[in-house]
Amino acid sequence: MQLFRIRKSKLPEQNSHIEANLANSKIYVKDLNKVYHSVKGDTVAMKDVNINILENEFVSIVGPSGCGKSTLLRMVAGLDVATSGQIVIKDRNIIGPGADRGMVFQAYTLFPWMTVADNIKFGLKLRKIPSKEQEEITDKYLKVIKLEKFRNSYPKELSGGMKQRVAIARALANSPEVLLMDEPFSALDPQTRADMQLLIRQIWQIEKPTIMFVTHDIEEAIFLSSKIYVLTSTPGTVKKEVPVILPYNRDLSLKDSERFIQIRKEVNSLIEHKSL
């Protein structure tokens, strides 16, 4: 049965509970359920998930493998459909993909036949943004990701970290309402991963995009976020919302601080580990 409400218009006025929650929220997930049907039977991937991400928040989703982190992000992206429940971005019900959501995935998704600059410009061209503005936006984001010298290079000439920097620039160039990131740094070596964490935190502090970030890495989630949702193992549901009270300006030495270690212990104790 399809309970997911297919509406593009604003929410009904009588739905005062949702209205109240929406007042300052950017991504609002209400009673979300997801069941996958296959010949082998049904898999309940998500059960009654409720999430509220405020404007300009950096929120991470963590949980054991298979708990439904990617499923949740894909549904917020509109790439997968919920079995029931509601996803609202600003005041719009999500019924499919849209330019209001920028995505960065684990796998490198740049167009190999386009230069770095053309990859960044891709969405701007689609939206027929005037070419002068396209150039200005591209220049700005090449600077943000510190790849000005690679403007005319092709993806095959870049390292993994550089490719992910371009993917982030391409997503941000479209000024999305929210940035959805699914394990974007997990294919990178530890040093590059740490550099990328610093870069995305810096970008967030300057540009203040609303970010929903899926990761396996608890330290990464704490270092980057203002709030973490810990999901239970399958079917995924929210076990706890953990606020991350740490200094606003962060460098990697923060990971050795007493407060950081305390939060890491708390989040780690919430993750249900199972022997394989």
Q: Which residues bind ligand ATP (CB under 6 A)?
A: 36, 38, 43, 45, 63, 65-71, 216, 234
User: Toward ligand ATP, which CB reaches closer, 64 or 123?
Assistant: 64
- Asked if residue 196 lies in contact with residue 161, where contact means CB atoms within 8 angstroms, the answer is yes
Cα(243)–Cα(191) distance, integer angstroms: 27
User: Toward ligand ATP, which CB reaches closer, 142 or 221?
Assistant: 221
Whether the ω angle into residue 235 lies within 30 degrees of 0, i.e. cis, is yes
Least Å from the CB of residue 109 to ligand ATP: 17
Cα(152)–Cα(144) distance, integer angstroms: 16
Cα(228)–Cα(267) distance, integer angstroms: 9
User: Toward ligand ATP, which CB reaches closer, 124 or 214?
Assistant: 214
Helix (H, G, I), strand (E, B) or coil at 160: helix
Q: Is 194 left (phi over 0), alpha (psi -120 to 50) or beta?
A: alpha
- The Cβ of residue 111 has, within 10 Å, a number of other Cβ atoms equal to 12
Cα(233)–Cα(111) distance, integer angstroms: 35
Least Å from the CB of residue 227 to ligand ATP: 18
Cα(71)–Cα(81) distance, integer angstroms: 9
Least Å from the CB of residue 57 to ligand ATP: 21
User: Toward ligand ATP, which CB reaches closer, 40 or 132?
Assistant: 40
Least Å from the CB of residue 37 to ligand ATP: 8
User: Toward ligand ATP, which CB reaches closer, 2 or 38?
Assistant: 38
* Residue-wise burial string across 64-91, b where 16 or more C-beta atoms lie within 10 A, e elsewhere: beebbbbbbbbbbbbeeebbbbbbbbee
Least Å from the CB of residue 193 to ligand ATP: 16
User: Toward ligand ATP, which CB reaches closer, 70 or 86?
Assistant: 70
Cα(217)–Cα(268) distance, integer angstroms: 10
Least Å from the CB of residue 217 to ligand ATP: 11
User: Toward ligand ATP, which CB reaches closer, 72 or 124?
Assistant: 72
Reading the block at residue 129, the tokens are: 């943004």
Least Å from the CB of residue 126 to ligand ATP: 28
